Structure 1
Amino acid sequence: MDINLVDQDQYASKGAPHDQLRWLRENAPVFWHEGDAERNWPGFWALTKHEDVVHVSRHSDLFSSSKKLALFDEMPEPQRELQRMMMLNQDPPEHTRRRSLVNRGFTPRAIGKLEEHIREICHQLVDEAKAKSSVDFVTDFAAPLPLYVICELLGAPIEDRDKIFEWSNRMIGAQDPDYAADPDEGQTAAMEVYTYANALAAARKDDPQDDIVTKLLQPAENGETLTVDEFDLFVLLLVVAGNETTRNAASGGMLTLFENPDQWARLVADRGLAGSAADEIVRWISPVNLFRRTATTDTVIRGQEIAEGDKVVVFYTSANRDADVFESPDVFDIGRTPNPQIGFGGGGAHFCLGNHLAKLELRVLFEVLAERVPTLQQSGEAARLRSSFINGIKSLPVTL
């Protein structure tokens, strides 16, 4: 079988290459994937089994997020140096220090306090959509919800959500012609987010509020604080990760429910299934398709020798369909239990900080949709994002 797991045109036209991933899980779970000189990326080890993705995720000492960063594409060292200030691209102990500072704003108690507000937002989105002549699930539901929540977390004006949406699109959609005019667009958008974060921090120092920005700018119990650059990069991470994962899980989940009308009917009949539905949607969609690590020493996985410095790429999309872990993995079942999906990472240092928040947003959104618009239907073809990094949907026309 011809294997190309990072062909962006494949993701844009059909979504993730599940046939290739299944073949690799069964025949070559630790697979040497050829590189591409034209696109300036080297060959890499593709890991497709749940157990191996978890192993890599939980051993930052063996598989570094910092050496060559966590993103797939290669960068020159000066650019990597800047990116290493972001938690995503750090290893313990530096990552541990930063995460402990940021964790203060993401405790289960702090997230739980948002539930009723998230429910109000979802009802408001339904009301607004009902007043429109044409509705797109992405721009009318999936995108606004996390954007409203990000504005709430940052204490930013709600009207800033459109700017945040546009910045996120330009940073994530660098390979999609609908979002990025040229390759530098993502970098320009990032600089605009830095400037925005700076202004936000300055405003909170003068006028503290009950929001995550104020919490993060205050010293921790041990007296440590985030530097200006660290704070700016955290806001950048929140703008992208806090938006893209929920947005694409929600839109991909809705499309999957349209494709599995029996499961939508189950949810409408029993909205108590919304919690397990959120987990199954994350398993099925895997909003983040892959992350990259770099081997810090010679090591072995499944008998395959991996050399120090080798590029290692873990595929969450594949791990979440592993038949050794999930019964009937190619069946979408909103009541699936247990469901050890790793759509938010395989544990370890980089397990998604906002996973509780993302699942809360998904649960409440689908509860409200099942209650308010049980006859929701797809009315046009879905348009997928041209990206091998994010399993994204740009447009999904619906009728209420």
Structure 2
Amino acid sequence: MAVDLITPTLYETQGFPDEDLRRLRRESPVHWHEDPSSDVPGFWAVTRYDDIVHVSRHPELFSSHARTSMFEEFADEDVALYRLMMLFMDPPQHTRQRAFVNRGFTPRMIKQLEEHIRDVGHRLIDNVVTRGEACFVRDIAAPFPLYVICELIGAPVEDREQIFAWSNVLVGSNDPDFATSPEDAREVSAQVLQYAHELAARRRRQPRDDIATSLLEPDADGNRLSADEFAMFILLLIIAGNETTRNGASGGMLAFFQHPEQWRRLVRNRGLIKTTADEVVRWVSPVNLFRRTAMRDTELRGRRIRGGDKVVMFYSSANRDEDVFEDPYTFDIGRDPNPHLGFGGGGPHFCLGTHLARLELAVLFELLLDRMPDIRQAGEARRLRSNFINGIKEMPVRFTPSERVNRTSFI
């Protein structure tokens, strides 16, 4: 079966390759896919919901550590560095580090952030609301989660644009607007790690009520994160802590433009905010894929997978699986239950920031209802050229101008 799920330009022009994914779910749900690059090994494309859950929940069979969780093939020295990041660990190492950071991301801790998140949203809207037009991505969706993350780690206001630029490079390497060489990407990673080490030094001298400070404190047994582990977590937080909300918000707004009856439904019934965030994440699937490496010979849906094989999970496909979702091609903000895999397939790597992302999306769409109820698309939505992130990098919008709410604008 000839399919192409990888060429980044496909995603730039159409979003994820839905027809090919639907065909694979039906005819070859665990499918050997040759890589378009002749010097890169092929892989098993896993496209059904239940199979992705199985792979996610069996790290002893399908490792994040062996060759990282990323689709790209990294040099051995880069793999050794990336293995210090929690995203690229397996239990028990992952379990230990996750226990450190979980304490900053409990539902109770995230709920305490609601007013701050709301204030961030108001300030961003204040920056554009009198104009009656904006770029939804650049002016609202992109800075919104980034500013929240910067506040969580105690980053100064003047550092936010630099952190934003770093995050764009690290997730958009295939896009012509952000593209860099592997050497440049390594340099950006090194800059973020240096920044994290400097942040740690400041927090040791001047502790604050933020996640950075809490991560540097010992646990109940007196254990601490190493300096490198802390720095790698900050690198992960800057990327992962911002991408789901950034692309969920912009992709969700585009979904509302394409399905205006759902926006009118939300205007009439604010109670649907409770289920809107999850349907947006299901529909958009902000992270398209992650990779695992088979640790030994095994079988999945009758296909023999050999030890060392590359196994790639396509969340965008699982979130349209007809065996799990009724009318999966309907954008339905009242969908309940909604067991989507937009935050991962369970297991040790279930998204740490799930509660934060849900709260951010719910707050943002509520503020848009309040302050830009007639928001409408005013030009083409330009997609990111990436098979990893289902992102939008530009989307002009218009709305009826209104007054600021007297909050101080961000610098």
When normalised by structure 2's length, the TM-score is 0.95
Shift of 1:223: 0.8
Partner of 1:163: 162
| 1:82 has 2:81 as partner | yes
| 1:192 has 2:191 as partner | yes
Deviations 1:30-53 (A, max 9, x none): 100012344x32110000000000
Q: Which runs of 4+ in 1 moved over 6 A?
A: none
How far apart in 2 are the matches of 1:394 and 1:76?
A: 29
- Asked whether the equivalents of residues 171 and 185 of structure 1 are also in contact (C-alpha less than 8 Å), the reply is no
How far apart in 1 are the matches of 2:147 and 2:274?
A: 21
Partner of 2:409: none
Q: Secondary structure at the match of 2:355?
A: helix
Mapping of residues 31-70 of structure 1, within 5 Å: 31-38=31-38, 40-70=39-69
How far apart in 1 are the matches of 2:334 and 2:274?
A: 9
Partner of 1:4: 4
- Of stretches 365-374 and 345-354 in structure 1, the one that deviates more from structure 2 is 365-374
Deviations 1:353-398 (A, max 9, x none): 0010001000110011112111000000001001000001100100
Q: Secondary structure at the match of 2:308?
A: coil
- Of stretches 246-255 and 127-136 in structure 1, the one that deviates more from structure 2 is 127-136
Shift of 1:114: 0.4
How far apart in 2 are the matches of 1:183 and 1:154?
A: 27
Partner of 1:96: 95
Q: Secondary structure at the match of 2:127?
A: helix
Q: Name the amino acid aligned to 1:63.
A: F
Q: Name the amino acid aligned to 2:27.
A: N
How far apart in 1 are the matches of 2:255 and 2:323?
A: 23
Q: Name the amino acid aligned to 1:12.
A: E
How far apart in 2 are the matches of 1:314 and 1:251?
A: 23
Deviations 1:217-261 (A, max 9, x none): 011111110111101100000000011111011000000100000
- Asked whether the equivalents of residues 132 and 398 of structure 2 are also in contact (C-alpha less than 8 Å), the reply is no
Q: Secondary structure at the match of 2:182?
A: coil
Partner of 1:267: 266
Shift of 1:134: 4.0
Partner of 1:123: 122
- Asked whether the equivalents of residues 297 and 306 of structure 2 are also in contact (C-alpha less than 8 Å), the reply is yes
Deviations 1:282-306 (A, max 9, x none): 0011100000001111111111111
Partner of 1:325: 324
How far apart in 1 are the matches of 2:207 and 2:129?
A: 38
Deviations 1:106-159 (A, max 9, x none): 121111100111112212222211133641000111111101111111011123
How far apart in 2 are the matches of 1:259 and 1:46?
A: 29
Q: Secondary structure at the match of 1:292?
A: strand
How far apart in 1 are the matches of 2:353 and 2:47?
A: 24
Partner of 1:146: 145
Mapping of residues 216-235 of structure 1, within 5 Å: 216-235=215-234
Is there any run of 5+ residues in structure 1 with no aligned partner, and where? none
How far apart in 2 are the matches of 1:388 and 1:326?
A: 24
- Of stretches 297-306 and 374-383 in structure 1, the one that deviates more from structure 2 is 297-306
Partner of 1:30: 30
Mapping of residues 321-360 of structure 1, within 5 Å: 321-360=320-359
Partner of 2:381: 382
Q: Name the amino acid aligned to 1:27.
A: E
Partner of 1:309: 308
Deviations 1:296-337 (A, max 9, x none): 111111111111111100000000000000000000000001
How far apart in 1 are the matches of 2:265 and 2:97?
A: 42
Shift of 1:272: 1.7
When normalised by structure 1's length, the TM-score is 0.98
| 1:203 has 2:202 as partner | yes
Partner of 1:19: 19
Partner of 1:176: 175
Partner of 1:367: 366
How far apart in 2 are the matches of 1:348 and 1:271?
A: 33
Deviations 1:52-99 (A, max 9, x none): 000000000110001111000101211101110001111000000011
How far apart in 2 are the matches of 1:79 and 1:378?
A: 42
Shift of 1:164: 1.1
Shift of 1:189: 1.3
How far apart in 2 are the matches of 1:154 and 1:24?
A: 42
Is there any run of 5+ residues in structure 2 with no aligned partner, and where? 400-411
Partner of 2:405: none
CA RMSD of aligned residues (A): 1.1
* Identity among equivalent pairs (%): 57
Q: Name the amino acid aligned to 1:199.
A: E
Deviations 1:141-184 (A, max 9, x none): 11111011111110111232211110000111111110124333
How far apart in 2 are the matches of 1:272 and 1:335?
A: 9
How far apart in 2 are the matches of 1:125 and 1:269?
A: 25
Q: Name the amino acid aligned to 1:366.
A: F
- Asked whether the equivalents of residues 268 and 371 of structure 1 are also in contact (C-alpha less than 8 Å), the reply is no
Q: Secondary structure at the match of 1:46?
A: strand
How far apart in 1 are the matches of 2:12 and 2:34?
A: 21
Q: Secondary structure at the match of 2:397?
A: strand
Q: Secondary structure at the match of 1:293?
A: strand
Partner of 2:404: none
Q: Secondary structure at the match of 2:320?
A: coil
How far apart in 1 are the matches of 2:95 and 2:244?
A: 23
- Asked whether the equivalents of residues 6 and 36 of structure 2 are also in contact (C-alpha less than 8 Å), the reply is no
- Asked whether the equivalents of residues 7 and 36 of structure 2 are also in contact (C-alpha less than 8 Å), the reply is no
Partner of 1:397: 396
Aligned length: 399
Q: Name the amino acid aligned to 1:18.
A: D
